[in-house]
Structure 1
Amino acid sequence: MESKRQQKFAGVLQEELAAIFQKEGAAYLPNTLVTITKVRVSSDLGVAKVYLSLFSTSNTALAIAEINSHAGEIRYKLGARIRHQARIVPSLTFFLDDTNTYVEQMDKIFDKISKERKEDPEEGEEA
């Protein structure tokens, strides 16, 4: 369970990282929309796990690896933005947030079940 302090700091990081990716995201991943979905911060605020949702990319693993290769540069830019709000700038590790993929898979399953029910008349309605 995250403390209020961790949650508040994670919110600040999420907001500032979103601004960085909005302004300079094309330098890291051209033609890709990057959304910061969640930030988890360690109890000492020294490590941040950043979860990203990527749109318009075919190879998400390669895209995450590319962003992680620029983690130091992103951390530096983040430090310049939060220098008056935090004593330390956490080390950043980026992960893929696959929630959207999971939701899409579940929607397909529910659609399939719904179509099967419409195609097969219920057995209890025989005369």
Structure 2
Amino acid sequence: MESKRQQKVASLLQQELAAVFQRDLPHLFPGLAPGISTVRVSPDLGVARVYLSLLIAGNAEGMLAEVRDNAKTIRLALAKRVRQQLRIVPDLAFYLDDSAAYAARMDQVFSGLNIPPSQPEDPDKDQPDSKRPKLFADEDEE
């Protein structure tokens, strides 16, 4: 479970990394604006795991390798943006977030299932008993 400080730093890093990719370093990744789905920060705030959503890119692994190659440049641009809020900028570790692809795959699997309609039950079973249930052992039958 993350502490409040970890959550605040992760939220700040997520916002600022999105700005770095879109405004500061668009020339490094032409035609690609990687979405930052999640940022997880270690308890000592020294390492940030950044999960990128690269759905638009055809070759997600290749784009992830390119992002990892430019990690130092990205960290430097991030440091310029958060220098007033953080004393130490965490090391960035980039990972591919495949949760959207997984959800799409599960949708495909569920839509391919052939589920037969349920059989109607005996209509007599749905009728409640006209007798009142006995609540106590000493109740008289009416």
Task: Give the TM-score taking structure 2 as reference length.
Answer: 0.78
Q: Give the letter for the 1:18 counterpart.
A: A
Cα distance, 1:25 vs structure 2: 5.0
Task: Give 5+ residue unaligned stretches, structure 2.
Answer: 121-142
1:35/1:53 contact within 8 Å kept:
yes
1:64-84 CA-partner distances (Å, limit 9, x unpaired): 110010000000000000001
Cα distance, 1:23 vs structure 2: 1.4
1:14/1:36 contact within 8 Å kept:
yes
Partner of 1:16: 16
Partner of 2:124: none
Partner of 2:64: 64
Partner of 1:3: 3
Partner of 1:29: 29
1:5-38 CA-partner distances (Å, limit 9, x unpaired): 0000000000000111111453232222310000
Provide the aligned length of Structure 1 versus Structure 2.
Answer: 120
Task: Give 5+ residue unaligned stretches, structure 1.
Answer: none
2:24/2:77 contact within 8 Å kept:
no
Give the whole-Å Cα distance in 2 for the aligned partners of 1:122 and 1:9. 50
Partner of 2:128: none
Name whichever structure is richer in helix by fraction. Answer: 1
* Greater Cα radius of gyration, structure 1 or 2: 2
Give the whole-Å Cα distance in 2 for the aligned partners of 1:25 and 1:84. 20
Name whichever structure is richer in strand by fraction. Answer: 1
